[in-house]
Amino acid sequence: MERRSFLKKASVGLAAGAVAAPAVAQTAPTIKWRLASSFPKSLDTIFGAAEVVAQHVKTATGGKFEIQIFAAGEVVPALGVVDAVKDGTVDCCHTAGYYFIGKDPTFAFDAAIPFGLNSRQQNAWLWEGGGMELLREFFKDYNIHNIPCGNTGTQMGGWYRKEVKTLKDLEGLKMRIGGLGGPVLAKLGVVPQQIAGGDIYPALEKGTIDATEWVGPYDDEKLGFNKVAKYYYYPGFWEGSAQLSIYVNQKKYQELPREYQQALEDACAYAHLEMQARYDVKNVNALRRLVAAGTQLRPFSKEIMTAASKAAFTLYDEYSAKNPKWKKIYDQWKKFRDDELLWFRVAEKSFDDFVHSIQSSRR
């Protein structure tokens, strides 16, 4: 059964795998895989998720199943990993689905779409709301078995050389942005660019682009964007959460012993949980350091947010009219989202709003 308990996978499953490791090691084959990451080693949290998976898999199988990690560009270009997995050049990759919307915008459901789900809602959709089954059916066409492996939580809205107060300020703006945020902002006059993480800084420094978004304070500080762009906007409405995934060549996955498959799935579940926990801790002090160094925090205006929301759902309707694969997932996803928003508005939002209000009053 594909819909497993996320928490069981992230804790009990790993513990059981570790206990069973000696028995597995006695009879199981030795397997070595290569994993191509879309991320540079310098981004320890996002790149590190694949390392966490490799270590847990190795431990759970008594060293019989090893995964060697390659950073972006070492064996495959950052944005070439899906083709490499599909064709069997590498066994698996760690990436974000929305990098591949050029192949099909439906890929974005495996990462994030503008004004979509937050990370808890994304997990609920995948493991209990039918999302995993829909995505696994979609990925079969690419010879891929997809496994969620990380989430950043809600991202920041990026770095800008000049303030963007109104819709007019977006016209002609050259911006590095991943996923469907690009087509949405293009409807507002932005000129979107898709650039791999390690190549963003020189493009921003040289003026090839006017703005960029990446993840959040911790990673953005490491990449040095604050040195060449002063204004830091929020929220990243195109990434209410941003899920990462490990994509495995379908044949390679099916060839694994069942115990190895389970070890891999459990390891990814643990890394999935750990990534956001790490970001939620590390982003706090990183944001403080950035502001102390002169970064100017700015919220997007209501004018921009409202126009972007309308543009997003117009785009989704356009996709639904011409792309059956998109429509099949979107119709189910949209109903799930609407239902989740009703529930979150009752308890979650009211709790968060009150806690924030009393925290502000105590300062």
Gap between the Cα atoms of 222 and 90, Å rounded: 28
Sheet with strand 211-212: strands edge to edge:
191-193, 174-176, 211-212, 158-160, 231-234, 296-299
Per-residue pLDDT of the chain (363 residues; tens, 9 = 90+): 444 444 444 444 444 444 444 445 567 899 999 999 999 999 999 999 999 999 999 999 999 999 999 999 999 999 999 999 999 999 999 999 999 999 999 999 999 999 999 999 999 999 999 999 999 999 999 999 999 999 999 999 999 999 999 999 999 999 999 999 999 999 999 999 988 888 899 999 999 999 999 999 999 999 999 999 999 999 999 999 999 999 999 999 999 999 999 999 999 999 999 999 999 999 999 999 999 999 999 999 999 999 999 999 999 999 999 999 999 999 999 999 999 999 999 999 999 999 999 987 676
Which segments of the chain does DSSP mark as H helices, in order?
6-7, 13-27, 44-60, 81-87, 119-127, 131-139, 181-186, 200-206, 217-223, 250-255, 258-292, 302-322, 324-346, 348-361
CB 241 within 8 A of CB 151: yes
CB 178 within 8 A of CB 96: yes
Buried residues in 301-329 as b, exposed as e (16+ CB within 10 A):
eeebeebbeebbeebbeebbeeeebbbeb
Collapsing DSSP to helix, strand or coil, 166 comes out as coil
Among all chains, which residue has been given the structure tokens 């989430």? 151
Whole-prediction pTM value?
0.91
- CA distances for 234 relative to 133, 216, 298, 320, angstroms: 33, 10, 6, 29
Gap between the Cα atoms of 234 and 256, Å rounded: 43
Query: CA-based diameter of the chain, in Å?
Result: 66
CB 180 within 8 A of CB 114: yes
Gap between the Cα atoms of 294 and 221, Å rounded: 12
